[in-house]
Amino acid sequence: AFFWFCGVQGPSIVQPAVVPIMIANTAANLQQYQAGQHVSHVLAMNTMDYVMNFGGTGSTFVVAFIMLFAARSAQLKAVGKAAFVPCTFGVNEPVLFGMPIIMNPMFFIPFLATPIVNVCLFKFFVSVLGMNSMMYTMPWTVPGPIGILISTGFAPLAFVFVLLTLVLDVAIYFPFIRVYDSTLLAEEKAKEEVIEDDGMAVLASDTVSPSIPTGLTVATATDDDATHVLPETAPSAHGEAYFKQNEVDVLVLCAGGGTSGILANALNKLSKERSLRLSAAARAYGQDMDLIKDMNMVILAPQMESMKGNLKKITDKYGVKLVTTTGRQYIELTNNGDKALDFVESNL
């Protein structure tokens, strides 16, 4: 979590040191269970996936739901709507980069403390209360509450552990989210007042200034249309025409294939709806890298920025365009198909 907070893909650095131990412990746990013994090894594969990374690094399972149901600012409400489904399945980049949590001092303490609390609680349930530890290895994308129950063999205490974990995680994150949400809400209200004042000023000048062209329509921005008044948010006819005339293949790469799939699906959906000659694929970094030679562009998700140098050697070899994105930009591209098209077209 500390590496992630600094903008570096933490699991890629930490996992090589601990995965062999966790694999061995998971096998030992299953042997204990089959022998009728207490399943006692805490550090197992799914302990990392479902307890420490409860909804993703930083144990952010509850964060998206807090924003969805309790946030008052438009920004956090929007992030909550976009993030609650991915976070349920352990893909929490929309939260990490959309709030953002990454490099945001407001969330340094809960982002690091919540996984520690979860693991210590799990240790207490296993070593003191006698609950079975993880004895199976389920895919990391299984929702944490379900994965914990299955991997512990539906131990009765596991149901209590899941409920207590949810309560504790909400208790840890909620105060920090509330303070941050209040800050964003105040900023949004200040911007609305500025927009309203500017709009009234333009309308007032329209009544006295003959230099303003007749037929010009001036409208004040409301909550519903404030994000659509800038010209760059309008669909680009040029970008869409480009993809009707040119066949373009795009590969999106991230750490585990989940984040990249969100952007690739957004591009493919829009391409199908508008009959464009654009095709996007999503992969985890290091998976099916031979696909690069058949691509026109490779988009590297923000959490994999540290791998840009190595990847550029491959893309340069095949004459493929490599582009990177910032966290907020990546989230915006996944939510706005027209901007994603313009992003690909302009970089090509």
> What does the pLDDT read at residue 209?
44
> What does the pLDDT read at residue 296?
93
- 120 catalytic? Reply is no
Distances (CA, A) of 340 to 29, 180, 324, 332, 347: 46, 29, 13, 8, 11
> Which residue in the list 6, 87, 120, 254 is annotated as catalytic?
254
The sheet with strand 278-284 has its strands ordered as 278-284, 248-254, 297-300, 321-324
pLDDT classification of 173: cutoffs 50, 70, 90? very high
> What does the pLDDT read at residue 227?
36
Contact 114/165 with Cβ under 8 angstroms?
Answer: no
The SS3 assignment for 60 reads coil
> What does the pLDDT read at residue 226?
37
Q: Per mean pLDDT, which range of 15-29, 223-237, 292-306, 308-322 is the poorest?
A: 223-237
Q: How much is the average pLDDT of 86-100?
A: 89
pLDDT classification of 194: cutoffs 50, 70, 90? low
Every domain range in the chain assigned CATH 3.40.50.2300: 236-347
H or E stretch at 298:
strand 297-300
Q: How far apart are CA 195 and CA 201, in angstroms?
A: 10
Q: Does domain 236-347 have CATH number 3.90.180.10?
A: no
More confident residue, 146 or 99: 146
324 forms beta bridges with 300
| Number of neighbouring beta carbons within 10 Å of residue 305 | 16
Residues for the chain: how many in total?
A: 348
Q: How much is the average pLDDT of 242-248?
A: 85
Q: What is the mean pLDDT of the chain?
A: 84
pLDDT tens profile 141-168? 999 999 999 999 999 999 999 999 999 9
Contact 36/93 with Cβ under 8 angstroms?
Answer: no
Q: How far apart are CA 122 and CA 169, in angstroms?
A: 13
pLDDT classification of 290: cutoffs 50, 70, 90? confident
